[in-house]
Amino acid sequence: MSMTEQTQGKYLYAVINAAGPASFETKGIGGRGDLVHTITEGQVSAVVSDSPMIEYDNTRRNMMAHTLVLEEVMQRFVMLPVRFGTIAPDVQTIATKVLRGRYDELTLLLEQMRGRVELGLKASWHDGVIFPEIIAENTAIRTLRDSLVGRSAERTHFDRVRLGELIAQAMERKRTSDEQLIHDRLRGFVHKTRLNKTIGEQMVINAAYLVEQPVEPELDAAIRAMDAELGGRFRFKYVGPVPPYNFVNIVVNWS
Q: What's the pLDDT tens digit per position in 172-219?
A: 898 999 999 999 999 899 999 999 998 888 899 999 999 999 999 999
**Secondary structure of the chain in the HEC alphabet?**
CCHHHCCEEEEEEEEECCCCCCEECCCCCCCCCCCEEEEEECCEEEEEEEEECCCCCCCHHHHHHHHHHHHHHCCCCCEEEECCCCEECCHHHHHHHHHHCCHHHHHHHHHHHCCEEEEEEEEEECCCCHHHHHHHHCHHHHHHHHHCCCCCCCCCHHHHHHHHHHHHHHHHHHHHHHHHHHHHHHHHHCCEEEECCCCCCCEEEEEEEEEEHHHHHHHHHHHHHHHHHHCCCEEEEEEEEECCCCCCCECCCCC
What is residue 83's predicted lDDT score, i.e. its pLDDT? 92
Q: Give the list of residues 6+ apart from residue 66 with CB closer than 8 angstroms, or none.
A: 13, 29, 84
What is residue 6's predicted lDDT score, i.e. its pLDDT? 67
What is residue 3's predicted lDDT score, i.e. its pLDDT? 47
What is residue 2's predicted lDDT score, i.e. its pLDDT? 44
* Residue 127: count of CB within 10 angstroms of its CB: 9
The residues of the chain scoring below 70 in pLDDT are 1-6, 255
**Number of residues assigned to the chain:** 255
Q: Parallel, antiparallel, or unpaired for β 87-88 and 203-212?
A: unpaired
The CB-based long-range contact list for 198-202 (8 Å cut-off, 24+ gap) reads: 200/124, 201/171, 202/124, 202/125, 202/126, 202/127, 202/130
What is residue 5's predicted lDDT score, i.e. its pLDDT? 53
What are the distances in angstroms from CA 28 to CA 97, 130, 189, 216, 241? 22, 45, 35, 30, 21
What is residue 1's predicted lDDT score, i.e. its pLDDT? 40
